[in-house]
Amino acid sequence: MDHNYYVYILTNIHKQVLYTGVTNDLNKRIAEHTEDTNGSKKSFAGKYACVYLIHWEHFKYIKSAIEREKEIKGWKREKKFALIKSTNPGLKFLNEEIK
């Protein structure tokens, strides 16, 4: 049985805010963040309109994904941007590439 887990980083339209999360369904999770942004704005991503995917990593095991998410969340902003730029140098929004 294949397992798919993703650590992802979202940003807002101006690339000023970063949100790091983990999920087993990247498309569904981004849709949930988008719905919150357009609705009640209960989550951090919703409040700051973080719905643009700029980085993601795939994992087979949830434990590995959670560990990576915690690692990235502990980093300073500059280090997060260095990670993002290592795979996405133009900081391009990747939402359409995962559908």
The reported pLDDT for the residue numbered 73 is 97
Q: At 40, is the pLDDT very low, low, confident or very high (cuts 50, 70, 90)?
A: confident
CATH code for the domain of 30: 3.40.1440
Phi, psi for residue 77 in degrees, rounded to 5: -50, -45
The answer, yes or no, to whether residue 1 has pLDDT greater than 70, is no
The reported pLDDT for the residue numbered 68 is 98
The reported pLDDT for the residue numbered 78 is 97
Number of structural domains (the chain) is 1
Tokens at residue 27, please?
């498309």
> Residue 41 sits in which domain range?
5-98
Residue 39 one-letter amino acid: G
Q: According to DSSP H, which parts of the chain are helical?
A: 26-38, 44-47, 62-73, 77-87
Residue 83: CB atoms within 10 Å: 15
As a whole number, mean pLDDT of residues 64-70 equals 98
At 71-95, the pLDDT tens digits run 999 999 999 999 999 999 999 999 9
State how far the Cα of 81 lies from the Cα of 64, in Å rounded to an integer.
21
As a whole number, mean pLDDT of residues 29-41 equals 90
